[in-house]
């Protein structure tokens, strides 16, 4: 690919991972204020968005990790994915340079 079109190979997955990361942090912060069975709309929306993500994180996280720590492990896993994406994009030239 040529020009700025190849940069989407980095930016789109990075934006998706960033959105997942911040949504997971948001759910953790909301969990400090709302009980798990809360019927408030904001809590239900965050739960619906992050539950599939938390199920995936639970699948790759050791079983001895308590449920309360799953948010922390999710943040760590997503940060590792973002760093790996950055390294791969750097290796294959998908990042913009100062002269571009």
d(Cα 84, Cα 95) in Å, to the nearest integer? 13
- Domain boundaries in the chain? 3-92
Question: Could you report the per-residue pLDDT of 3-31, keeping only the tens digit for each?
Answer: 566 688 888 999 999 999 999 999 999 99
| Eight-class DSSP state of 35 | -
d(Cα 46, Cα 73) in Å, to the nearest integer? 18
Question: Could you report the per-residue pLDDT of 30-69, keeping only the tens digit for each?
Answer: 999 999 889 999 999 999 999 999 999 999 998 899 988 8
d(Cα 62, Cα 85) in Å, to the nearest integer? 23
């Amino acid at each position: 690919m040529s020009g700025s079109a190849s940069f989407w190979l980095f930016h789109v997955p990075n934006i998706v991972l960033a959105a997942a990361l911040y949504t997971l942090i948001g759910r953790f912060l909301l969990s400090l204020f709302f009980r798990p069975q809360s019927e408030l709309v904001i809590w239900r929306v965050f739960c619906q968005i992050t539950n599939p993500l938390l199920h995936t994180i639970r699948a790759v996280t050791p079983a001895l990790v308590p449920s309360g720590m799953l948010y922390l492990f999710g943040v760590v896993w997503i940060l590792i994915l973002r760093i790996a994406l950055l390294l791969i994009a750097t290796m294959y030239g998908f990042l913009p340079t100062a002269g571009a």
